[in-house]
Structure 1
Amino acid sequence: MSVLLCSALLACCVIGIASGKPQKGQGRITATKGLKKLTVGIVGDYGWTGWNPANEYFCNEIKPIFAANNITLPREVQKDCDASDRSVIHNATALQTSTSNYIGQICAMKNCSAFISVGDNFYDSGVDFTTTGINRFQEAWVDMYAQGIFEYTPWYQCLGNHDIVQGQAGVDFETKLAPLYDDRWYFGTEGLPYYTYDLVGHDWTATFVVLDSDCFIDKYQKDTSPYNNNYTISCHQDTQTQVDFLAETFANSNADWKFLQLHHPMLSSHANYTELWPLISVVEQHNGVVLNGHDHCAAHYYGNNTNFVLSGAAGFPDLVDCNYGVPLGPYVKFLGSNSKAAANGFVTMEISSKELVFEYYIRNMQYDGGDLYPVKNDMQPSYSFKVKEHAW
């Protein structure tokens, strides 16, 4: 190797360290501190790649026979026979790939310092500590988000309903094992499904509380629900623990900005989850912001004096979830949908001491066959809003 090449490589390394770029392989990666402005990408409902559902013959012919003979199928097998999800798997896989590339482009342009997940990281039945689970984690996340801006950028993760189909085993994989598998995958320091973290700038601090909203959903307690398992039954009996965790964390934080990061929506164009009110009331008391997914589209809602940022469009979009682009009331500020299709995309958030700037990046889908959502210039935000009043 020439002296000139050695010098060039050394210079690159020094520049990387001086810029505060996280160094992979040195333990858990977290976002860079001390910036005047820090940009994050908010991503949800994305993990379709690598899902191989149960074969059609079993789902259509054998499953009814088992049911007739009172044979109970494992929850993950029930979910993998979901007809609606099976019908979109090929398109969903392609759309996740295209959208991940799009997110990488936008975040390289905006220099994202972190990604914030709002859940449903692995369709259709999550991952666990099995060969299948390990391979899915590698294909659907490690390899999918590996190049460019993704390579050294932390992901502050969150559980969604598809992530908990495997019960405690699935939760343990994402909260305890995945952070050891890939140090970009962050799930707190206690191995719990709820945690808090701070992003710290030059003259500002932002406190995030990540909760598992699956524990609050009443219909998941029904025997017929694929999400009814040892984990959801147990945590549903103790939702107060998470409510108290949120209240205490916000009360003890002097941060300029406070966020609740979870999967299910309190406000929605498709299904409101009113069981989440104990959490939302805490957010309202502290003038916080809610970041959520679950609905497969992008939207902005404002209600109960609170901004709700929906970013669930990184995988397979569903125009029903954004009500065909038709606002249902004055609380709907933006819907990433038209009468033909919901759009793929995600949301960026720029944090500074002065304000929060949310920008909704919607991918041009005019070329995607039946998913027609043309965007004139998808390297520019399709919608944006600002929050200037600090948290209390």
Structure 2
Amino acid sequence: MSILVVGDTGKDTFRRTSVIDAMRRHAAWSQPNAALLLGDNFYERGVESVDDPRFNSDFESLFDVRSFDMPFYVCLGNHDVHGDANAQVQYTQRSDRWWMPARYFRERMTVGLVAIDCFVLDTNTLLSDNEESAEQLAWFRDELAQCNADYKIVVGHHPALTGGQHEAAERIGEVLPPLFDEFEIDLYLSGHDHDLQLLQSNAGWLQVVSGAGSKLRSTTWIDETLFAEADAGFCWLLIDQDGLSLSYYSTSDRLFTHRVPKTLQRAQHTRNSITPQNTKSLVSGVAAAAR
């Protein structure tokens, strides 16, 4: 299962053009099965309606079907909810590739005998302690309790761990990590911070930050950091029966690769990270497998 991961693509900048070009070149050989859009799909105030022309300019034409003929699983960012957020849900009925059937949803992907469950959250709602937030958390807990997938991936806009300028929202840090720990989530993927980061929690789940799709901010390393780079780019997730790999790319280079073998138990997850100097053989092998 080959998945492209990028967030915060909603502003037309020279960086965005370079990132999408790099993703286009990558997709030509990695043959992605899906893509994840991590929110802030439309700066600065979302879209006005399901007929907004920005669905074409900032999605359909930007991610041209010839290069990106795959489903895009999409979550809402904080800028998206300044406009008509429900229009992004409704657009699922208009597009063959945009997939946001509700403001939060669960999707199953399979590769061979391996099942991957992807839980897409609306973290904007979770920022408040109210009935709407409680309903989403109850849904999330119930879905996790029923999940029998080999891999559990959660997608949301706001990170639960970050060394970026935004820092982790207090409420997100309170409500999500306990569920990640209890139900042994493998990955949490988010944007919001305009950088590239990989962090490892004490419980073993990994935090992916890939919010450098059109804007850029500085970032720092914290105790949980495995990788951090203030560079425009994206992330590539590859899952097979033997484990998962996370690779980070700038607009011109592969920056970092982290491999988690399936045989490792959560408590045994180690910092088996690989720097660009010694990833060539690994990534070449992955590239050959993807072809």
Q: TM bucket by the smaller chain? A: 0.7 to 0.9
57, 72, 75: which is aligned to 1:155? Answer: 72
TM-score, length of structure 2 as denominator length = 0.84
Contact 1:112 1:149 (8 Å CA) reproduced: no
Aligned residue-pair number: 260
- 2:20 is the counterpart of 1:100: yes
Contact 2:92 2:100 (8 Å CA) reproduced: yes
Contact 2:18 2:251 (8 Å CA) reproduced: no
Name the aligned partner's letter for residue 122 of structure 2: D
253, 275, 284: which is aligned to 2:181? Answer: 284
Q: Per-residue CA shift, 1:53-82, capped at 9, x if unaligned?
A: xxxxxxxxxxxxxxxxxxxxxxxxxxxxxx
> Which is helix-richer, 1 or 2?
1
Pairwise CA distance, 1:180 = 2.1
Pairwise CA distance, 1:143 = 0.7
295, 304, 317: which is aligned to 2:202? Answer: 304
- 2:224 is the counterpart of 1:343: no
- 2:241 is the counterpart of 1:332: no
- 2:98 is the counterpart of 1:185: yes
- 2:133 is the counterpart of 1:260: no
Q: Per-residue CA shift, 1:304-346, capped at 9, x if unaligned?
A: 3221000101111112xx13xxx2x32111111xxxxx21111
Q: Per-residue CA shift, 1:96-116, capped at 9, x if unaligned?
A: 112111111112221111101
Contact 1:344 1:362 (8 Å CA) reproduced: yes
Determine the C-alpha separation between the residues in 1 that align with 2:39 and 2:130.
18
Equivalent residue number for residue 40 of structure 1: 3
Which runs of 5 or more structure 2 residues have no equivalent in the other structure? Answer: 267-291
Q: Per-residue CA shift, 1:263-310, capped at 9, x if unaligned?
A: 001111131112122222111112211111100011001123221000
Contact 1:41 1:349 (8 Å CA) reproduced: yes
Equivalent residue number for residue 87 of structure 2: 173
Flag the structure with larger Rg: 1
Pairwise CA distance, 1:47 = 1.1
Equivalent residue number for residue 115 of structure 2: 205
Equivalent residue number for residue 293 of structure 1: 191
Equivalent residue number for residue 278 of structure 2: none
> Which is strand-richer, 1 or 2?
2
Determine the C-alpha separation between the residues in 1 that align with 2:130 and 2:236.
32
| Higher relative contact order (Cα pairs below 8 Å, separated by 6+ residues) | 2
Contact 1:246 1:279 (8 Å CA) reproduced: no
TM-score, length of structure 1 as denominator length = 0.63
Change (3 A) 1:185 1:236: farther
Q: Per-residue CA shift, 1:243-267, capped at 9, x if unaligned?
A: 1121111111110000111000111
273, 276, 282: which is aligned to 2:169? Answer: 273
Change (3 A) 1:363 1:236: farther
Equivalent residue number for residue 27 of structure 1: none
